[in-house]
Structure 1
Amino acid sequence: MRGMNMNLTIGERVAWYRRRRGLSQEVLAGLIGRTADWLGKIENNRIELDRLSVIKSLADVLDVSLGDLLAEPSLVEWSTESGMETVPALRAALMKYRAITSLGTPGAEATAPDLDELRQETAKLWTAYQASRFGYVTGQLPGLLGRAQAAADSLDGRAQEEARGLLGLTYQLAATQLTKLGETDLAWIAADRGLSVVRPVGDPAITGSLFRSVSHALLSTGRYQDAVRLTTDAADYLDQHLTDAGPELLSVYGTLLLGGSVAAARANDAGTARTFLTAADEAAVRVGKDANYLWTAFGPTNVAIHRVATAGELGNVQVAIDLGPSLDTAGLPMERRVRHALEVSRAYGAWNRQDEALSVLLDAEQMAPEQVRHHYLGRQLVLTWVRQQRGKPSSKLVTLARRLHVLD
């Protein structure tokens, strides 16, 4: 349940669901090809369980969702930026019947802004997302969706096509933000809405960008093989436009492949992950620098970040340790920088270098507290470290755990 029972590690959740299903450790471990000794260590927090491929295999056998083991969705706290209407208001905006029936009076529920205003609003919210202002973005998205829909309904010709593109990008932002919050079903609705809106426009960059949101939604529900297949199919679709592609389309294409590399790693397909990373690297070379076309933050550094992330997902801790800490991410948006910091912290933790892991995580939290609080990895690393302490945990660790709401 959202916001409840956050003080259980993933291993402790596995134990709880295992007992509810009436399974012994021997039986559950055997069903996923592991030993009872290994499962016992997981349930007693002697081993960190942070690889999503393993967590998903446990969720499948226990017949629960991936989110049930990750304690997702997480509660968006009220703040001066978010206001007092967050995910429920966004859910209501996504479920307005006009979006799928076209019934009612166009523009009746919102005043259509002019296109310049809509461009500025869309860019402002994407920039806020990349600055990890998750509460603000969640609170502002319902209004922007309504205004973008009104513009698409009331305009025609080329102006309508542009409004549709902006509406599609707003749906993509909704899907991306909802994925960060663990709201997987709503993220899927947003991704579906976005693709439906932009298909008639025929812009490969915007269409490719919406494919990314579908991939993110698949990843968030643990459908890793489907996400790999989508990446392959979407890359084939975009490939016909790449001969003379500009940096915007190349960035979308490359970022799609980066998402696919993570999906392949979570599916334990190291070969496909490498293939996607190699193709993304080639696209980054063509772009020529770190950039942010269509809010992709794509370039050589983002490719390197995903090399670290895929290594972590595949359990290649040495690769993550060798590459991760030395990467200079200062030129990238905050969301990318902090996501990489979580991977570095995970690698240090897996290497039994907890002091360094905690230091990296504290720095990340100082930069983007909302992002660290809403990501399962930050919460679970901290809670597991608390459980693993032989003596009294340090005050830094305890206060961080309380700020992340995983410790009373």
Structure 2
Amino acid sequence: MRGRTHNLTIGERVAWYRYRRGLSQEVLAGLIGRTADWLGKVENNRIELDRLSVIKSLAEVLDVTLGDLLGEPSLLDWTGDSGTATVPALRAALMNYRALGPFSGDLGAEPPTIAALKKQVGALWDAYQESRFGYVTGRLPDLLDRAQAAVDHHDGDDQGHARRLLGLAYQLAATQLTKLGESDLAWIAADRGLAAVRPTGDPLITGSLFRSVGHALHATGRYTEAVRLTEDAAGYLEPHLKHATPALLSVYGTLFLSGSMAAARANDTGTTRTFLAAADHAASQLGADANHLWTAFGPTNVAIHRVATAAELGDLQVAIDLGPRLDTTGLPMERRVRHALEVARAYSSWNRIDDAQTALLDAEQMAPEQVRHHFLSRQLALTWIRRQRGKPSAELVGLAQRLKVLD
């Protein structure tokens, strides 16, 4: 699949799978409550297909995964940062049976001190927020092995600390894997993280790990379940909020941001607004933008999600009015670039293609790996090329080639 349709738009993939399923445009359109004329425009790139709720509906009827239509997972390039052992090595680490049950003490890794492990976990989380995806992916297998070795080696309070750090390592693995479209592996990582932390009873790390579960649900299009997870996770954390630390408040607020995206993708406008209001209240209590436990949580991140949820709900007026005006320079690179992609989407939807291309090129300049691995970037660039009446500009062709959607 990856090799056959990497240079197709999402609409063209819909047509490809529709032919495979033997469905006419009239039948497929009717099954999702649309017209054949609308579907024809989607398949011919005359309508941008970038709302995940609609893409998910098409995937369900076609009996394919959301990733099949988004062109995910995408191949992680070998770079000086990544080395030549990337996702397969991480898959092997996650599926190593010796990390389970009675075998975990025989992984062969040297158990680090708690201080050394904490430093390694923090360094990789920082690298993720700098959008160094290859670097993080290439180093996660060693981190997971060392963190498990620390859990097996230490006892008492030190073992509790090691479990928390192992949980955060698994959370990072789940978060990174969703960025690469590896949704099944992300689910395994999220599950392992919660299992590692459960004996500690720590609400902060447990709440943080609920984010990775949410990411995995998002990646597979299970938006309604992600909404319920947000409600359940918030209920779990609420008894601990009376004397909440800034970190716990940040984790709590970030859960609602993730939930707001799930609600928007489920076309649930009311719940989207409720979750954004809850996140905004938590941000007001926090008082300013911060990055406790790598949440990048605060008023600016809430505003970013107002733009993103508006785009998912089809409210382009909010996205175009608010998006370009947000100052995200104080946030980690991953958040800044993710917002830039939303701005590019909003401009493109309003047919301000020059502004959209500028926003996307600026984002690529800041974080080429992140832009390369997001479906919006690939969809936008390839759609712009398909719509060109004449020869596309060298700048646009170069962008599409770097995104690996044009040979």
TM range (shorter): over 0.9
- The CA distance in 1 between the partners of 2:27 and 2:288, in whole Å, is 51
Give the CA deviation at 1:392: 1.3
Q: Are 1:24 and 2:42 matched, yes or no?
A: no
Q: Distance in 1 between matches of 2:195 and 2:242?
A: 26
1:146-157, aligned counterparts within 5 Å? 146-157=145-156
Residue matched to 1:63: 63
Q: Which residue of 2 aligns with 1:83?
A: 83
1:285-300 correspondence to structure 2 within 5 Å: 285-300=284-299
Distance 1:41 1:257 in 2: 35
Q: How does 1:218-367 map to 2 (within 5 A)?
A: 218-367=217-366
Structure 1 position 100, deviation (Å): 2.5
Distance 1:331 1:108 in 2: 41
Asked if 2 retains the 8 angstrom alpha-carbon contact of 1:235 and 1:253, the reply is: yes
Q: Could you list the runs of 5+ residues in structure 2 that have no partner in the other structure?
A: none
Q: Distance in 2 between matches of 1:134 and 1:5?
A: 23
Report if aligned partners of 2:82, 2:138 keep a CA contact under 8 Å in 1.
yes
Distance 2:99 2:246 in 1: 32
CA offset digits 1:245-293 (Å, max 9, x no partner): 0100000000011000000000000110100000000000111110000
Match of 1:39 in 2: 39
Long gaps (5+) in structure 1: none
Deviation by residue 1:95-124 (Cα, 9 ceiling, x = unmatched): 1112223226x1542001101110100000
Q: CA offsets, 1:76-107, max 9 Å, x none?
A: 11011100000000000001112223226x15
Seen in structure 2, the aligned counterparts of structure 1 residues 298 and 5 have a Cα distance that, compared at 3 Å, is same
**Which residue does 2:388 correspond to in 1?**
389
Q: Distance in 1 between matches of 2:36 and 2:332?
A: 43
The residue aligned with 2:15 is: 15
Cα separation, 2, equivalents of 1:39 and 1:52: 15
Deviation for aligned residue 1:4: 4.8
Shift of 1:5: 2.7
Query: Does 1:207 pair with 2:206?
Result: yes
Q: CA RMSD in A?
A: 0.8
Measure the CA separation in 2 of the matches of 1:5 and 1:18.
14
Residue 203 of structure 1 deviates from its aligned partner by 1.1
Quote the Cα distance in structure 1 between the aligned partners of 2:28 and 2:275: 33
Paired residue type of 2:130: A
SS at match of 1:84: coil
Contact 1:167 1:197 in 2 (8 A): yes
Deviation at 1:52, TM superposition (A): 0.2
Paired AA for residue 221 in structure 2? G
Partner Cα distance (1:328, 1:56) in 2: 32
What CA distance in whole angstroms lies between the structure 2 residues aligned with 1:313 and 1:62?
21
**In 2, distance between residues paired with 1:258 and 1:109?**
39
The residue type paired with residue 207 of structure 2 is G
Residue identity opposite 1:102 in structure 2: P
Aligned counterparts of 1:192 and 1:306: Cα–Cα separation in 2? 26
Shift of 1:312: 0.6
Q: Is the 8 Å Cα contact of residues 191 and 214 (structure 1) preserved in structure 2?
A: yes
Partner in structure 2 of residue 74 of structure 1 = 74
8 Å CA contact 1:107, 1:153 repeated in 2: no
Superposed displacement of residue 395, structure 1: 1.4
Secondary structure, counterpart of 2:100 in structure 1: helix
Hey, which bits of structure 1, 4+ residues long, moved more than 6 A?
none
Q: Deviations over 1:148-192 (max 9, x none)?
A: 000001101110000000000000000000000000000000000
Letter in 2 for 1:137: V
Question: What secondary structure, in the 3-state scheme, does the structure 2 residue paired with 1:140 have?
Answer: helix
- Aligned partners of 1:71 and 1:4: how far apart in 2? 10
| AA of the residue aligned to 1:64 | V
The answer to whether the Cα contact below 8 Å between 1:180 and 1:374 also exists between their aligned partners in 2 is yes
* Inter-partner Cα distance in structure 1 for 2:106 and 2:333: 35
Superposition deviation, residue 323 in structure 1:
0.3
Question: How far apart, CA to CA, are the structure 2 residues paired with 1:50 and 1:10?
Answer: 8
In the alignment, residue 37 of structure 1 is paired with which amino acid? D
For residues 98 and 248 of structure 1, the distance between their equivalents in structure 2, rounded to whole angstroms, comes to 33
Contact 1:3/1:75 (CA < 8 Å) preserved in 2? no
Q: Which has the higher helix share?
A: 2
- How does the TM-score come out when normalised to structure 2? 0.99
Q: Secondary structure at the match of 2:348?
A: helix
- How far apart are the structure 2 equivalents of 1:91 and 1:221? 18
TM-score, normalising length: structure 1:
0.99
Contact 1:107 1:151 in 2 (8 A): no
Q: 1:4 to 1:20 in 2, by over 3 A?
A: closer
Paired with 1:190 and 1:42, the residues of 2 have a C-alpha distance of 35
Q: Which moved more, 1:333-342 or 1:385-394?
A: 385-394
The aligned length equals 407
Three-state SS of the structure 2 residue aligned to 1:72 is coil
Give the letter aligned to residue 274 of structure 2. T
**Is the Cα contact below 8 Å between 1:3 and 1:74 reproduced in 2?**
no
**1:300 CA drift (Å):** 0.3
Q: Call closer, same or farther: CA 1:319–1:138 in 2, change over 3 Å.
A: same
Give the Cα–Cα distance (whole angstroms) in 2 for the partners of residues 54 and 263 of structure 1.
Answer: 13
1:146 and 1:100 map into 2 onto residues whose CA distance is: 12
Does the alignment pair 1:99 with 2:99? yes
